[in-house]
Amino acid sequence: MSLFSDPQASLGFPAPLAEKYRPRSIDAFIGLEKQRKVLSAFARRPVSCAWLFIGPSGVGKSTMALALADELQADLHKIPSQKCTVQAIAAQLALLSKLDSTDPAPQTIWIFTANDCERLEKRFLSRCRVLEFSSYGMRGELASFLAQVWRSETGTDGAIDFERVAKNSTNNVRDALQTLEVELLAS
């Protein structure tokens, strides 16, 4: 029997860096000052509402939603993007009455994430608090974070150009950490 076909077998792989260094609280994020400020204030005084986090991949939209749920000590029900079909979520328009005052879900905070909102209905968007996520201006913070991760993993400063890794990843934190993993394997 192959080791890979046995679901009970453990290969002992460490957690990927993107998971190991995932922020667990709102204040642990790098960059995203406005988003941290807005969501920290919201976490202090939450209300039932819908949020739409928009931005490119790897900037922390889903992770921020998880951190907010943790801070609110809320139950989280996540629908993976592969399962977000019209049939699976009963279409955007069917959610409208749940998102506004006609038939609200009590003590519920909806958080939707998307890379863009071009195909979303205007009526749906009008019922969401839109918070844009961007990696603009965070290259320096990302480079410092990568250097910190490198030191934590190796105990050395390393000869890696962390600024270049951040730039080549277009400030996508997940991609930068994956690049760093490759560099760690090569060291």
Q: Report whether pLDDT(166) > 90.
A: yes
125 and 144 in a common domain: no
Rounded to an integer, the average pLDDT of 114-128 is 84
19 within some domain: no
Instruction: Assign 185 to helix, strand or coil.
Output: helix
Let me know: does 155 contact 145? Beta carbons within 8 Å.
no
Q: Report whether pLDDT(26) > 80.
A: yes
pLDDT tens column, 34-76: 999 999 999 999 998 889 999 988 889 999 999 999 999 988 7
pLDDT tens column, 15-24: 899 999 999 9
Q: Which of 117, 132, 147 is the last residue of a domain?
A: 132
Instruction: Assign 129 to helix, strand or coil.
Output: strand
The whole-number pLDDT of residue 83 equals 59
The whole-number pLDDT of residue 3 equals 45
Q: In this predicted structure, which of 10-14, 37-41, 123-127 has the lowest mean pLDDT?
A: 10-14
The whole-number pLDDT of residue 120 equals 79
Strand partners, 112: 52
Q: Which of 113, 132, 151 is the last residue of a domain?
A: 132
Rg from Cα positions in the chain: 19
pTM of the model: 0.81
Determine the structural domain holding residue 160 and report its residue range: 137-186
Q: How far apart are CA 51 and CA 99, in angstroms?
A: 10
pLDDT tens column, 77-117: 776 656 565 555 565 556 677 777 666 677 888 888 888 88
169 and 91 in a common domain: no
Q: How far apart are CA 64 and CA 57, in angstroms?
A: 13
The whole-number pLDDT of residue 67 equals 95
34 and 109 in a common domain: yes
